């Protein structure tokens, strides 16, 4: 079950039950954002597992405020993996450019700005 829950007013604004063979938490949240059946000033919060460039881009394109918990910096496949981050508290701005081409500039990848995504990856 995927649900959009208002923790202040204790209301479910949207819900969806997926089949066990076709689960898509990120897809469900994108659908919820598209339907916009919740208060305009809402901030979407999500736990690990929702971390994806696709969802982040979708929120930005739809002017949706969001806070997502991401995987630990020591994991091998999280958004923060290629960044050199401190174990201390920090507040930094990270700029990413998603690309599906391997130009010389992208291969240098100074400051870990470029993130290669396969051309087969579909953004919803």
Burial of 73 (0-12, 13-18, 19+ CB in 10 A): middle
105 lies in some domain: yes
pTM: 0.74
For residue 113, the enclosing domain spans: 82-119
pLDDT value at position 117? 76
Between vectors from CA 98 to CA 97 and to CA 100, what angle results, nearest 5°?
135
Q: What is the largest CA-CA distance in the chain?
A: 51
Examine the domain organization and report whether 50 and 2 are in the same domain: yes
**Number of domains present in the structure of the chain:** 2
Q: Which two tokens stand for residue 87?
A: 């174990």
Closest among 120, 111, 105, 116 to 53, alpha carbons compared: 116
Can you give the pLDDT of all 124 residues of the chain as single tens digits?
Answer: 899 999 999 999 999 998 888 778 888 999 999 999 999 899 999 988 888 888 988 999 999 999 988 777 667 777 766 677 777 777 777 777 777 777 777 677 666 677 777 777 777 6
């Amino acid at each position: 079950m995927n649900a959009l829950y208002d923790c202040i007013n204790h209301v479910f604004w949207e819900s969806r039950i997926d089949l066990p063979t076709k689960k898509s938490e990120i897809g469900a949240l994108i659908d919820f954002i598209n339907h916009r059946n919740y208060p305009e000033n809402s901030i979407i919060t999500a736990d690990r597992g929702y971390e994806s460039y696709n969802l982040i881009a979708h929120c930005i394109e739809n002017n949706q405020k969001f806070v997502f918990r991401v995987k630990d910096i020591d994991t091998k496949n999280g958004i923060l993996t290629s960044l050199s981050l401190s174990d201390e508290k920090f507040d930094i701005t990270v700029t990413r450019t998603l690309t599906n081409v391997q130009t010389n500039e992208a291969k240098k990848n100074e400051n870990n700005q470029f993130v290669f995504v396969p051309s087969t990856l579909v953004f919803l």
